[in-house]
Amino acid sequence: MYIGIDLGTSELKALLLDERHRVLASIGEPLTVQQPQPLWREQDPADWWAACDRALARLQAWQPAAMARVRAIGLSGQMHGAVLIDAKDEVLRPAILWNDGRSGAECAELERRVPDLHRIAGNLAMPGFTAPKLLWVARHEPAVFARVDGVLLPKDWLRLQLSGERVGEMSDAAGTLWLDVAGRCWSHELLGACGLRESQMPRLVEGSQVSARLKPELAARWGLPADVVIAGGGGDNAASAIGMGVVEPGQGFVSLGTSGVIFVAGAGFRPNPAQAVHAFCHALPGRWHQMSVMLSAAASLRWVTRLLGRADEATLLAEVAQLTPAQRAGAPVFLPYLNGERTPHNNPHAQGVFCGLHAGHGAAELGYAVIEGVGFGLADGWQALNADGGAVAPALSLVGGGARSPLWAQLLTSLLRVPLLTHSGGEAGGALGAARLGWLADLDAQGVAEASALATVCPPPPVAARYVPDADEAARLAPRYERFGALYRALAPGFSA
């Protein structure tokens, strides 16, 4: 048995996986985000730990026999967050999250301090990344910065609670702007530009290797064996890729979670900062990936559902499904930049916009505009990935909460012009990948070769549905997509004001 723990933004998920690839139990514990000022997004790490404890206790109550046979735990989590700890491992301030936009000025400062940043880190300096957050803390909270003895990413702070050890891994570390992504090691130059030392960073392992062991008192608390190992794990998207069997070059997926992601695995390090494409390490040794990221995907649908007073997203989508093609063509156009945007704009000041509203529009038209606008944002990301011929994907898997909507899936496949596959169990996402990384770490400790381990542990889940591009729908969407791009270009100069 293997446990996967995925620390998301709105939920911590834990699941139990057996060696026949069956998910025996899956638990979700809700989390909330604090927004004390415009552009700020924070969480209290203590809430993560409380959610983790509740989830593992519930697994133990539901599956005590299975929990007693667990061999390893894998970790996945929201990337880029900054958890600052002192010499006693105490948290110094609330964690600054991946979708926090306060550090735009610090991004420009980091680019100025390290002209070679793009070559080393493979990415533009964006407010979502970890390094600019520390420059912001140094400038605005110098007393806190002076006490920093360690900086951990969210899932790695959970590892500290589970094991007592400060350990990170390559896929998540690649999103800090402190990693030499090609060399898979901390960069002294990038750390020094932020006033930090390597001694303040966690030691690094690969995602499929053993990173630490579970504290005996926690094993007893949750009914686990005394010798449970903890895998390196992965950032949420790299872990989701492991869960979907996206491990070979050219394989990829689209994630419709809180954020929207297109992920394509590769055999080498291929940075493309000019298009605001992310180039990160994969959660497996000697592998990398490219990724486009939009900050508000399913989050946009959740927002408009609340705004319209509908019970849930499925209720609103059922109304959207009743619209005729002519009604969809007459719906407003939506820019989905509720939290700024990354790929391809790298603009933390970008804002959400409905354009073209009139008195005849109702909830269904607004709901359609939102899912279409998210689709347009993902299409921008897909074009960025293909800008230098980098993406190779005859089909993409579709994962995340939005993958449950056939309407949205069909719209996306027509926009991207590539088939999309949904999978049984695809909603497990990063938690399933984390459990598989635990499984790989267990086999690695036994000396099992990676090639045979991957074949055993990382097959794609069974296909549940296949969506293929509809030429008529693509033709109807094309002029609206052009208008979407023109609106952003026209409105962008006024966003920061």
**Angle, vertex CA 163, rays to CA 240 and CA 47, nearest 5:** 65
Residue 226 and residue 266 in one domain: no
pLDDT of residue 276: 80
Cβ neighbors of 215 (< 8 A, separation 6 or more) are: 162, 163, 164
Structure token digits, residue 361: 């529009």
In a domain, 428, yes or no: no
Instruction: Tell which residue, 17, 148, 136, 149, has the closest CA to residue 76.
Output: 17
Instruction: Tell which residue, 64, 28, 18, has the closest CA to residue 430.
Output: 28
- Residue 291 among known ligand-binding residues: no
Instruction: Tell which residue, 203, 284, 211, 209, has the closest CA to residue 251.
Output: 284
Instruction: Tell which residue, 398, 351, 356, 395, has the closest CA to residue 375.
Output: 398
In a domain, 60, yes or no: yes
Residue 75 and residue 207 in one domain: yes
The CA-atom distances, in angstroms, between 313 and each of 187, 301, 330, 400, 497 are 44, 7, 22, 14, 32
Residue 156 and residue 259 in one domain: no
Known active-site residue 236: yes
Residue 251 and residue 226 in one domain: no
Residue 127 and residue 156 in one domain: yes
d(CA 44, CA 32): 9
Domain final residue, candidates 210, 232, 254: 232
User: Per the structure, how many domains does the chain have?
Assistant: 2
- Residue 367, domain extent: 246-423+462-497
Residue 309 and residue 215 in one domain: no
Tell me the per-residue pLDDT of 17-63, one tens digit each, with 9 for 90 and over: 999 999 999 999 999 999 999 889 999 999 999 999 999 999 999 99
Residue 227 and residue 257 in one domain: no
Instruction: Tell which residue, 440, 418, 411, has the closest CA to residue 321.
Output: 411
DSSP annotation of 427: G
Over the chain (497 residues), the average pLDDT of each successive run of 10 is: 95 96 94 94 98 98 97 97 98 96 94 94 91 98 98 98 98 97 97 97 97 98 97 95 91 89 88 83 94 91 96 96 96 95 88 96 97 97 80 81 89 95 78 96 90 89 93 96 97 86
pLDDT of residue 348: 85
pLDDT of residue 147: 98
Residue 158 and residue 266 in one domain: no
Residue 182 and residue 269 in one domain: no
pLDDT of residue 47: 98
Give the residues across from 151 on adjacent strands. 84
d(CA 267, CA 252): 13
In a domain, 175, yes or no: yes
Instruction: Tell which residue, 71, 63, 52, has the closest CA to residue 6.
Output: 52
Catalytic residue, candidates 6, 156, 172, 236: 236
154 SS3 class? helix
Residue 173 and residue 306 in one domain: no
In a domain, 124, yes or no: yes
In a domain, 76, yes or no: yes
pTM assigned to the model = 0.88
In a domain, 240, yes or no: no
Residue 220 and residue 251 in one domain: no
d(CA 375, CA 165): 41
In a domain, 477, yes or no: yes
Place of tokens 């903890």: 230
Residue 299 and residue 329 in one domain: yes
d(CA 232, CA 187): 20
Strands 11-17 and 2-7: antiparallel
Domain final residue, candidates 232, 254, 269: 232
Tell me the per-residue pLDDT of 450-477, one tens digit each, with 9 for 90 and over: 888 998 999 988 899 999 999 999 999 9
- Residue 67 among known ligand-binding residues: no
pLDDT of residue 388: 65
Which phi and psi (to 5°) does residue 130 adopt?
A: -75, -40
In a domain, 394, yes or no: yes
Domain final residue, candidates 232, 256, 282: 232
Torsion 367-372-376-382 (CA) sign: positive
d(CA 467, CA 411): 9
Query: Which CATH number does the domain housing residue 44 bear?
Result: 3.30.420.40
The answer to whether the CB of 278 falls within 8 A of the CB of 343 is yes
Structure token digits, residue 199: 């001694």
